[in-house]
Amino acid sequence: METLGFLIDGFGVALAPHNLMFALLGAFLGTLIGALPGLGPANGVAILIPLAFSLGLPPETALIMLTSVYAGAMYGGRISSILLNIPGDEPAMMTCLDGYPMAQKGKAAEALAISAVASFIGSLVATIGLILLAPLLAKFALTFGPAEYFALFLLAFATLGGITGKNPVKTIVAACIGLMIATIGIDNTGVQRFTFGVLELYEGVDFIIAIVGLFAISELLFFIEARANGGTPKMAVNKLSLSFADIKAILPSSLRGGVLGFIAGVLPGAGASLGSFIGYTLEKKIVGKKGYFGEGDPRGVAGPEAGNNGASSGALVPMLTLGVPGSGTTAVLLALLISLNITPGPLMFTQNADIVWGVIAALLIGNFLLLLLNIPLVGIFVKLLSVPPMYLLPVVTMVAFVGIYSISNTTFDLYFMVAFGAAGYVLRKLEIPLVPVILGLLLGPEMEKNLRHALDIADGDWTVLWNSGLAISLWALAGIGLVLPYIVGPLLRRRMRQTAL
Amino acid sequence: MRLNDRIFGIFLIVLAVAYGWGATQLPVPFGGSGAVGPDTFPLLLAGLLGLSSLYLVVRPDPDNAWPWNRTGIELLIAVVVLVLYAMLLAPLGFIISTALAVGTLCWRMGSRPLRAYLTGLVSGVVVFLLFNFALDLALPLGLLGFWEMG
Q: Are A283 and A113 in contact (CB under 8 A)?
A: no
Largest CA distance in chain B: 68
User: What amino acid occupies position A404?
Assistant: I
CA–CA separation, B15 vs A478, rounded Å? Answer: 26
For residue A192, give the DSSP letter: E
Contact between chains at B41 and A183 (C-beta distance less than 8 A)? yes
For residue A412, how many other CB atoms are within 10 A of its CB?
Answer: 14
Q: What does the H/E/C string look like for A115-178?
A: HHHHHHHHHHHHHHHHHHHHHHHHHHHCCCCHHHHHHHHHHHHHHHCCCCCCCHHHHHHHHHHH
CA–CA separation, A158 vs A172, rounded Å? Answer: 8
CA–CA separation, A269 vs A492, rounded Å? Answer: 13
For residue A471, give the DSSP letter: H
Reported as a pLDDT band with limits 50, 70 and 90, residue B31 is: low
Contact between chains at B48 and A389 (C-beta distance less than 8 A)? no
Nearest Cα to A477, choosing from A150, A151, A34? Answer: A151
Contact between chains at A451 and B40 (C-beta distance less than 8 A)? yes
Question: The whole model's pTM is what?
Answer: 0.87
Which residues of chain B have a CB within 8 Å of the CB of A395? 102, 119, 123
Nearest Cα to A306, choosing from A95, A452, A136? Answer: A95
Q: What pLDDT was estimated at residue B44?
A: 94
Q: What pLDDT was estimated at residue B52?
A: 94
> Which tens digits make up the pLDDT trace of B121-148?
999 999 998 888 877 777 888 887 776 6
Largest CA distance in chain A: 72
Name the closest residue on chain A to residue B53, using Cα atoms: A173
Q: What pLDDT was estimated at residue A139?
A: 87
Q: What does the H/E/C string look like for chain B?
A: CCHHHHHHHHHHHHHHHHHHHHHHCCCCCCCCCCCCCCCHHHHHHHHHHHHHHHHHHHCCCCCCCCCCCHHHHHHHHHHHHHHHHHHHHHHHCHHHHHHHHHHHHHHHCCCCHHHHHHHHHHHHHHHHHHHHHHCCCCCCCHHHHHHHHC
Q: What pLDDT was estimated at residue A308?
A: 87
pLDDT over 70 percentage in chain B: 93
CB pairs under 8 A between A and B: 158
Neighbouring-strand partners of residue A185: A193
Q: What is the mean pLDDT of each run of 10 residues along chain A (501 residues)?
A: 81 88 90 76 83 81 89 84 77 83 86 90 93 90 89 85 70 93 87 85 88 88 70 61 80 90 80 78 81 85 89 88 82 86 82 85 89 82 78 88 86 93 93 88 90 87 87 89 74 71 59
Q: What is the interface pTM, i.e. ipTM, of the complex?
A: 0.91
- Measure in Å the smallest separation between the Cα of B150 and chain A Cα atoms: 25
Report which secondary-structure segment, H or E, holds A479.
helix A469-500
